[in-house]
Structure 1
Amino acid sequence: MNGVRTALFALIFYPGSAIFAILGMLAAPFSERVVQRIAYGWAAFHRACAAHILRIRVVLEGERPAGQVIYALRHESFFEAIELPRLLGNNPVPFAKAELSRIPFWGRAARAYGMVFVERTQGATALRTMAKAAREYKKTGRDFAIFPEGTRVPVGTAPPLRSGFAGIYKLMNLPVVPVAVDSGHVYRTKPKRSGTITYRFGEVIPPGLDRAEVEARVHAAINALNPQDQRVGVSPSSSSLPGLPDR
């Protein structure tokens, strides 16, 4: 049955996503607010498809705080990347690799929504561009979202954080809310499986901590749902550009 559900999900969700992407692209020149509503609608459509077709249940633990923050999420599958507008509220500004901006229709809509794209091969130039865009969005009061591991990670592993996370933390001077996610065991499998995905919002981490402390606290919190006896690679940090979702 999982194979049948996965095939049906693909037949409904992906064509539907194309429609949302085209609508977002058409709205992009005229209204950021409309694009944000379309993004929320896409996330809600995805959640409905996951619930009713794949039979995936979502559980939230902990509370989203009031005030502007940076959400740092574990990244096990595409599930949480699509979920961001619906999950976090306040139209969060995600950081993403520049390759995603070149996806037909979707890329233009994502840019209009407010996604901050980074050319990871351009080093300091890319970081300056990202910093300028991030400062502008901070003025709007919107939250930020980042996947500090920099790519999707296998279930049971705890890879180091990319060094760019600490740079963004220092640049934005905002509290960080770590979010543990365990989507990989149902959504990244072939076929996808029915089951439960949990988001656990951790304790708010204040701004102004040194790099070692903030990385250690975020690393521990986003891995809180990992099977304790399967963790591999637990060093808090790694040198690279920012934590960006790979797809």
Structure 2
Amino acid sequence: MSAPLYLRIRAQFEERIRSGDLPPGARLPTEAELREQHGVSRATAQRVLHELAQAGLVVRHRRRGTFVAEGVRQENLLRLINPRLRGPEIPGRHAVHSAAVVPAAESEVDLPGIDGGTPVTQLVRLKFDADENPLALEITAVPFALAPHLLDEDLAELTMMVYFGRTGVPIARSRMYLDAILLEPHQAELLGMDTTTPLVRQRRYTWLTNGELAESGAYLMRPGAMEFFVEHSVLAEGDP
């Protein structure tokens, strides 16, 4: 069963905003323009813009229009554990800090079920906001045997779920944990923080269909840089 049209239109705008295709301050179509472009009713066009505003992604000004919001980015946590995710796990510009094959015991992320001597490919990237300030530190580790050619990829733009799909790695499920931590000195230096300020860490584990670990990831977010939410669409009978 396909999602209602208003949800599909809203999702298109969310993706464009989070990818940077619609930067802060960019103007969105008016209700009339949405009706003409998508062939929808006035109520549907209003709902799309209203829900984008409720999510904090846009700001609506009477008689001026609807514009992409400045400031804190919002992100649906469900998106970050979706095995079918397309696009960067953390949207925006990434810069590769390091990429190397290391023993699992030396990785910066936990690798449950992986022997400490097993080689893993570890990728450490920095995410920057629109003003080129460090926003987050992303650490990903994948068993080398599962992705032996990973380092040949364009690592700045790499999305692991897309890579797994393209190379036939059978992903089954993902789980995410949230906890507050203090940074290691080298992590604090990369994010321009001190080691006494706690921040939120997201830990994501992804497993293969045979139950073995496919990926372990950690996302260390600067405090105040991003707000996270969980949203489910509750569809009433007869919704458009």
Asked if Structure 1 and Structure 2 have the same fold, meaning a TM-score greater than 0.5 normalized by the shorter chain, the answer is no
- Which fold has the larger relative contact order, with Cα–Cα distance below 8 Å and residues 6 or more apart in sequence? 1
Rg comparison, structure with higher value: 2
TM-score by length of 2: 0.28
More strand by share: 2
